[in-house]
Amino acid sequence: MDFCYNKSMGNGAVASKFKLTNKVQLNQSNLRTPIIPKRGFDDIENTTISEITTEPNTKDTDTAPENTENPLTHHPSNCNRCYRLKKKCTRTFPKCSHCERTGSQCEYVDRTKKRKKSSDNVVSSSEPDGQLIHIASADSTQTGVVAHKLISVSSLLVPDQSDNQVKNREKSKNKKIATAALASSARRAQEKDKEGVEKINYKTTQQPTISNIQEEFITMKEIKDDTLPLAFALNYFNNFGHKYPFVNKDVFLNKLRKIDFAKDSIVNLDVYLLLSIGCILYDAKTQTSHYSDYFKTKSIYSIIDVLDLSFSTYNKDSIHLLLLLSIYGLTSLNNEMVWNLIGLLNRAILKFDLFKKLDDKSVERVFWSVHNLDKEISLVVMKPSQFPKYTYIKKQDIDSTIYEEENLSLVKHYISLGKIQDSLVDAVLSHSNENLTQISRELGTWVSSFTKDISLKYVSQPNLQELIPWANIQSYYLQTVMDQVSTTKSFQFPSNFIFHSFTSLISASDKSSAAENKHNTKLAIIASGIWYAQLFDVIKLSTDTLIHFLQSDDSEICSKVKEFNEFLQQDLNLLKYIRGFRCLLRLEGYQKLSTKVNETIDVLEHLSIVLLGFDENSDNMDVLGILEGVKQNVESSL
């Protein structure tokens, strides 16, 4: 006879399953009490339920149809993807029908122990979409109600398993793994100890990962202050929205409003990543620790797993996530990851010929976002850019907005700055000062135009006023770099760089907005890996300038040393001010920064004391040795 049992689908529904066999696997997780066939009243009186359940049917077993489930062809549990999406899974090897249809990778994990019901333990519970997801621990030694745990990343994929899949599955049954870790542990089995840069390098050598990014989610812990998510988002857009103009602000904010952050929620990967960037910016200015409360660095690095880094096909969502990961690397000071990601983005631009497709608005925004990121990184590391040459680009600017309140002129200013940075890198690397006059003229025009637009056009937007000190910081940094190939050198530009940096830092940490119950969304260079690289580069280049004066036996060497010593005092004051920002020390990048800042303060204080006793008539070899040590200490790590 037909054997029938009920199977819970995980969303409150119960499906009936039929098998034309009498062999029942007692350890099968989806086995439920059989449905008793209808019989006459007299038959029921003379037959027990157990007899009905175990009654053989030789006719059925002799001729099993093709769809009979077999341990070699069917897995006893749903695949990870169907389990997460609450889909009805066919559980076939090597892929179930749903994963086969969508082109997704299919992975099975044994859940036999988790599905055992008992009157004392809660197996699983689910809430409506966008809210709480609970998974109970499956430790056989525990009694009573088991504490619930959140799944950190709800969708990560790994390559298909080997031909020994069945044997490995049988071995895994003996392992005791907490239920919340079942899905993630299997995904991380082949990528153990790979995070950040190592994971990126590993993924670029693997087969393409086909995944619908919009179906991938990360769970977020509840945020009790319902104004914080919007504050995080506005911090991102006020700091990076125009510099990297690939995110539609209106679309994103509308998506954000639909999420109930007052409860544990499920969010898309781009939402999680953008909010984490904004949270770092917010914490850096307000000296709070929201990042450690609501976000996990491992979860962010796990986003790399769903990306196709071999670039088998062009995927706009995947490129957007790579850009957001790069910006996250800048704000979390993971400079090595940024360097690897910008290489991948440049490769994608060339592989898909994006520089030839700028009539497409989404491609255009991605293209210029990568351009701005590439040029500022190329300058601080002083390495040639991998971005396509401007002669290959027919459309040299952006001419239309993607949302109503976008400041198109500001977007164009950032693109113009990238072009000036590119020209300066070429001049420095070629050791040529022929074009310095032209670069200096273009830089002066850019600064005056930028500050004029901010002061006149956007006077009603106070957040944009914070960009004026930033523009001066960029101007004085570029002029400090130009000094290295110029015939004239001075400490004026480095000193102005420090001054305007200090102004921007103090303004960003102003408490007046908090007193008015407004969240701080000002520009935050304190959480910018680019600015830190520029700061240490300015100290290094200024040290080079003093070495130049000492070695050239300048007649005014004493005044030059005094001027440099005054610059050192500004540096020390700024570094000590930075040292007071300790809210982000849980991030590895800020831990390394703290160590470097302390070491730099020590060597600069020692240098300052030595220079106070400087005598132009004495041997200056000791001073030169100390200056070389300072250069090595402050070498940019980007």
Average pLDDT of the chain?
Answer: 78
Strand-pair partners of 7:
15
Pick 309 or 25 by higher pLDDT. 309
Instruction: Evaluate whether 458 touches 530 at the Cβ level (below 8 Å).
Output: no
pLDDT at position 142 over 90: no
Q: Identify whether the C-beta of residue 495 lies closer than 8 Å to the C-beta of residue 514.
A: no
pLDDT-wise least confident of 48-62, 223-237, 396-410, 514-528? 48-62
Q: What is the pLDDT of residue 458?
A: 67
Q: Which helix (H) or strand (E) holds 124?
A: strand 124-126
Rounded Cα distance, 298 and 302, in Å: 6
- Cα-based distances in Å from 301 to 363, 368, 472, 524: 25, 25, 34, 23
- For residue range 497-508, what is the model confidence (pLDDT) as tens digits? 999 999 899 888
Q: What is the pTM of this model?
A: 0.70
Return the higher-pLDDT residue of 377 and 465.
Answer: 377
The answer to whether the beta carbons of residues 532 and 600 sit under 8 Å apart is no
DSSP 357: -
pLDDT tens, position by position, 324-337: 999 999 999 998 89
Q: pLDDT tens digits, residue range 339-364? A: 999 999 999 999 999 999 999 999 99
Distance CA 403, CA 408 (A): 10
Q: Are 5 and 25 in contact (CB under 8 A)?
A: no
Question: Does position 213 have pLDDT exceeding 70, yes or no?
Answer: yes
CA dist., res. 16 & res. 346, Å (int): 52
Count how many Cα atoms sit within 13 Å of the Cα of residue 483 in the half-sphere of its side chain: 23
pLDDT at 241 over 70: yes
Give the pLDDT mean for 405-434. Answer: 92
Mean pLDDT for 68-91 is 84
Rounded average pLDDT over 122-135: 35
Mean pLDDT of 508-515: 62
- Region for 144 from its dihedrals, namely left if φ exceeds 0, alpha if ψ lies in -120 to 50, beta otherwise: left
Going through 252-295 in order, the beta strands assigned E by DSSP cover: 265-268
Q: Which of the pair, 549 or 122, is modelled with greater confidence?
A: 549
Query: Residue 625: how many CB atoms within 10 A of its CB?
Result: 10
User: How far is the C-alpha of 415 from the C-alpha of 371, rounded, in Å?
Assistant: 8
SS3 477: helix
Could you read off the pLDDT of 561-595 as tens digits, one per residue?
999 999 999 999 999 999 988 888 889 899 999 99
Query: For residue 45, what pLDDT band results from cuts at 50, 70 and 90?
Result: very low
DSSP β-bridge partners for residue 32 = none
Q: Record the tokens describing residue 492, joined without a space.
A: 């004026």
pLDDT, position 379: 94
* 21: pLDDT strictly greater than 50: no
Cα–Cα nearest to 88, from 36, 14, 34, 35 = 14
* pLDDT tens figures, 285-313: 988 999 999 999 999 998 988 888 888 89
Phi–psi pair at 15, nearest 5 degrees: -105, 145
